[in-house]
Amino acid sequence: MLVLALTCPATLPSRDKHELTFSTGDQLKADLETAPCDNRERLAAAKKLFERMGASESDISIDHYRFVENLSLRKQGDGPDTIILGAHYDKVPKGCGAVDNWSGVVTVAHVYKTLHDSQLNKTLLFVMFGKEEEGLRGSKAMVKSMSEDQMSQVCAMINVDSLGMGAPQVAENLANKKLLWRVKGLAKALNFPFGEAPVPGDSDSSSFLAKKIPAVTIHGLTNDFRKVLHTDNDRAAAANAESLYLNYRLIVELITSLDATDCAVWRESPSAP
């Protein structure tokens, strides 16, 4: 069982003393329990979830590419520098795709709610990718559509994939090393459990890493994840509120940290921390 650390509420950088209001683990789990088991319903359900988190219908864009649709919302910052926070909304045929990856959709939506009224230096782009399970098609389509100038403005891409089973972890093989070290340092500062290890396969961060955009995949899986992912066992009962909360809190901390850091830091060649 995970044990929640007692931590002080996070605040944004000194120019904005807005104290953040966090969702609870129970709220995250309740939204996870609404995971549609039919792929055809998931994009519309994601849109409704973001609307419930405070987004107006006009804030939400359905981006149409060839054979795939992504959902996106932009929270404009003081300049063009951008942090992308993404998760895929699709699922494999088996199960309800609660852990993989409605957990990511729910977490990103609650991060949106938490930061919605905050003043930020950098623009936040929230993206729900389609057809990740069919070869990262949504994230690849997005990257392919971006101009060189647009790609140069992306400071970091944070990918959220499969939370709810265990402590926050970074997939080593799907991450920029400097971002991995930043996530690890934040987890230590929060006194949160944390892990890092390679995982089999790809996730949407790979589409950005292939274009030399700093990216990281955060997950919350345990060693027995194969008993759940891509099986009939992938339902809300497989996830726990503590894991969802810890990952969500860590992602909020990561965004506020990146918002206060020069984007050039992440593009520099990594050296040991």
pLDDT digits 0-9 by tens, 3-26 = 344 344 454 443 454 689 999 999
| Rounded Cα–Cα distance for residues 131 and 138 (Å) | 6
Distance from CA of residue 109 to its chain's centroid?
9
Percent of the chain residues past pLDDT 70, beyond the cut: 91
- Distance of CA 116 to CAs 121, 128, 190, 194, 221, Å? 13, 17, 23, 27, 28
Backbone phi, psi, residue 12, to 5°: -80, 170
| Rounded Cα–Cα distance for residues 138 and 126 (Å) | 13
- The count of other CB atoms within 10 Å of the CB of residue 167 is 18
* Predicted pLDDT at 19: 85
pLDDT digits 0-9 by tens, 242-271 = 999 999 999 999 999 999 999 999 987 666
Q: Are 75 and 127 in contact (CB under 8 A)?
A: no
One digit per residue, the tens of pLDDT, for the chain of length 273 reads 343 443 444 544 434 546 899 999 999 999 999 999 999 999 999 999 999 999 999 999 999 999 999 999 999 999 899 999 999 999 999 999 999 999 999 999 999 999 999 999 999 999 999 999 999 999 999 999 999 999 999 999 999 999 999 999 999 999 999 999 999 999 999 999 999 999 989 999 999 999 999 999 999 999 999 999 999 999 999 999 999 999 999 999 999 999 999 999 998 766 655
**Global pTM exceeds 0.85:** yes
Percent of the chain residues past pLDDT 90, beyond the cut: 89
* Predicted pLDDT at 267: 82
